Structure 1
């Protein structure tokens, strides 16, 4: 059994040679909490909005410069 917890995920990414399994675990990991009960999309959108506001207030070109 493979979980999306960091120890399992990292082990799969480093040691599994099966490309299909590697891709399946990777896609599951990067899309976690993006739908259903655990959907955090509104929170991420709010964070992005606040970061943009901070960038503008501080007169930077993007958040990476902050």
Structure 2
């Protein structure tokens, strides 16, 4: 399976194939597409969450959802 799979491909396979193994392989590839190798965006997400919490605290809120 390719390192990258986009939504149209994933959706088509999920809707039209009867092959359960293929469906699982495509699903797993899709949900982990930005969590490995040079595509790993976890550090960026963590930085965004940190900045959102900082913003909330500066505005006297307990969390970003209250902003």
TM-score, structure 2 as length reference: 0.66
Q: Secondary structure at the match of 1:34?
A: coil
Mind listing any 5+ residue stretches in structure 1 that lack a counterpart? Answer: none
Q: Give the superposed CA RMSD.
A: 2.6
Other-structure match for 1:50: 51
Q: Deviations along 1:2-42, whole A, 9 cap, x unmatched?
A: 86122211101222222211111111111112121222110
Residue of structure 2 equivalent to 1:15: 16
- Does 1 or 2 have the higher relative contact order (CA < 8 Å, sep 6+)? 2
Alpha carbons of 1:46 and 1:17: their partners in 2 closer, same or farther (altered >3 Å)?
Answer: same
Gaps of 5+ in 2: none
**Count of residues paired in the alignment:** 65
* Rounded Cα–Cα distance in structure 2 between residues aligned with 1:35 and 1:43: 13
**DSSP 3-state at the match of 2:33:** coil
The structure that has the greater radius of gyration is: 2
| TM-score normalised to structure 1 length | 0.67
